Amino acid sequence: MNHKECFLGQQIKPGDIIEIKMPREDIDGEPVAGKLNVVYEDDELLVVNKPPLCVTHPTKSHQLDTLANFISYYWQEQGTAAKIRFINRLDRDTTGIVAIAKNKYVHHYVQKEMNSGKVKKVYHAFVHGRLPNEVGIIDAPIGQPYEDSIHRIVMESGKPSVTQYRVLEEYRDASLVELVLETGRTHQIRVHLKYLGNPIIGDPLYHSDKQEDDCFGMSHQALHARSLELSLPQKKQLYVLAEYNNELIDLRKRLIDKI
């Protein structure tokens, strides 16, 4: 207080300057040079546009080629001292917004906002066919068909799962759909769209019976975390948008050309 250390119970008065110093932390990832598309960054948050075929954090089979490795290297070069605290994660093949808190307090703050429904995440997906309605809600419980299953399915004993959707564009045999999650189940969007009869183009897990030419030239599922809207301790509101990568841009062009 007023540039001097003070006790928690010390009284304050108008005009006093209160300063809270966050502890300095070391980067906890293995730094590896890699392409990092930074969408937004300040003292509290880093937001990147994740490329396809990139794992978010290290796993048994991916140790040095993950988003966490690239962020560690970027922060090391920038002189940023922080642990990597992911606010959200994306599947390996899903592209788009991933947000990382730069300290424990910001991470806790945003997680609390998420739990109270104040954080809005919007996804875009290119799907097979046309949806039954232009706007709708998919309310179908999702669960594992058996223990340790990678797949998720709609099942009566599953956890409540709700996805809002809105059709943005319709093509000859495909659609571009905007999706907002009300719940956050594993593979929720992919499972719900398959359940609706409109699996995501290029999805290797939930459209496995596809023909080779049924992927419209995609090497990965055409699912993109498009935007994120949230508040931060030092900001009332922040809105960030992630552009499509070249493969999604080309996919959209091919679909439009087929109309």
Active site residues: 91
Whole-number Å distance between alpha carbons of 94 and 206: 14
Written as six digits, the tokens of 124 are 């875009």
Neighbours of 224 (CB within 10 A): 24
DSSP letter string, 133-178: SSEEEEE--EE-SSTT-S--EE-TTSB--EEEEEEEEE-SSEEEEE
Q: Count other C-beta atoms under 10 Å from residue 152's C-beta.
A: 23
* Three-state secondary-structure class, residue 68: helix
d(CA 93, CA 125): 12
The encoded tokens of residue 9 equal 């119970």
C-alpha atoms less than 13 angstroms from C-alpha of 205 in its C-beta half-sphere: 19
CA dist 116 and 113 (Å) reads 5
H or E, element range at 76: helix 67-78
